[in-house]
Amino acid sequence: MKAAYLKAPYQFEIRDVELRDLKPEEVLIRVKACGYCGHDNILAKYAAEDWQPFGHELAGIVERTGETVTRLAAGDHVAVETSIFDPGTDVSLNGRVDLDMNGPNFMSMGDNSMGFLEYVVAPELLCVKFSGLSFEEGAFLEPLGVAIDLIKTADIKLNDDVLVMGLGPIGLMALQMAKKSGARRVYAAQRSGADARIGLAKQFGADGVIFTDKVNLAEFAFERGA
């Protein structure tokens, strides 16, 4: 099986690797699409001191299931979440699943099973079944989950003013969800020059864009009611 590896600064290579056997609660996925996110770029730029597999925004087709898997079957289209909450913890039982970090984590599984491989192994709990989307669109479900966590943690109320820091894909999705959550005004903070992202933010309803390379946010104050 082919797998992509990276090492800083910006070194990439294709290797032949073998995947371990499935555990009872896991599925084998044939990868069809995988995103290259900011975390991957940090690894490639300076953080990966040694060769390592990469990629976690992925979607594909279930090829095989473990013995205890009940929710998925071969042929299902799935995206993979990076991590999930433990439903039995106090915070989860109180409805704040966004504050729990005790469930399985795809990025800390400790094997070759990352996104830029032909096949990956993932816990059933981390798999999100989908239909009606391309695999490229399905791969966006992972960063969408991050944006949802941000909005849930922020606990936006009707007529709140919201500042979204950064207009990458996650920021742009969070901006739209903040508007839908009842925010009175939603502002975005972004370095100037990112014209495409700034244009999308305005298209998605941003009330203003603050250029962080031109304005000191620590000294910036919103005039409430202005």
Whether 53 contacts 117, CB under 8 Å: yes
Predicted local confidence at residue 225, as pLDDT: 40
Q: Where is 151: in which H helix or E strand?
A: helix 141-154
Position 219 scores a pLDDT of 66
Q: Closest by alpha carbon to 114, among 224, 225, 4, 226?
A: 4
Q: Which amino acid is present at 67?
A: E
Global confidence as pTM = 0.83
Among 25, 104, 21, 22, CA closest to 69:
25
Tokens 């949802």 sit at which residue? 148
Q: Which of 212, 151, 161, 223 is nearest to 187 (CA)?
A: 161
* Orientation of helix 141-154 relative to helix 169-180, angle to 10°: 50
Residue 226 has pLDDT above 50, yes or no: no
How far is 58 from 38, CA to CA, in rounded Å?
Answer: 14
Of 23-27, 108-112, 166-170, 188-192, which gets the smallest average pLDDT?
Answer: 108-112
Distance from C-alpha of 13 to C-alpha of 45, rounded to nearest angstrom: 15
Q: Which residue has the higher pLDDT, 216 or 181?
A: 181
Residues 180, 186, 189, 191, CA torsion sign: positive
Helix (H, G, I), strand (E, B) or coil at 150: helix
Report the pLDDT value the prediction gives residue 224, as an integer from 0 to 100.
43
Interval 197-213 mean pLDDT: 94
Statement: residue 109 has pLDDT above 80: no
pLDDT of 163 strictly over 60? yes
Mean pLDDT of the chain: 90
- Work out the pLDDT band at 221, boundaries 50, 70, 90: low
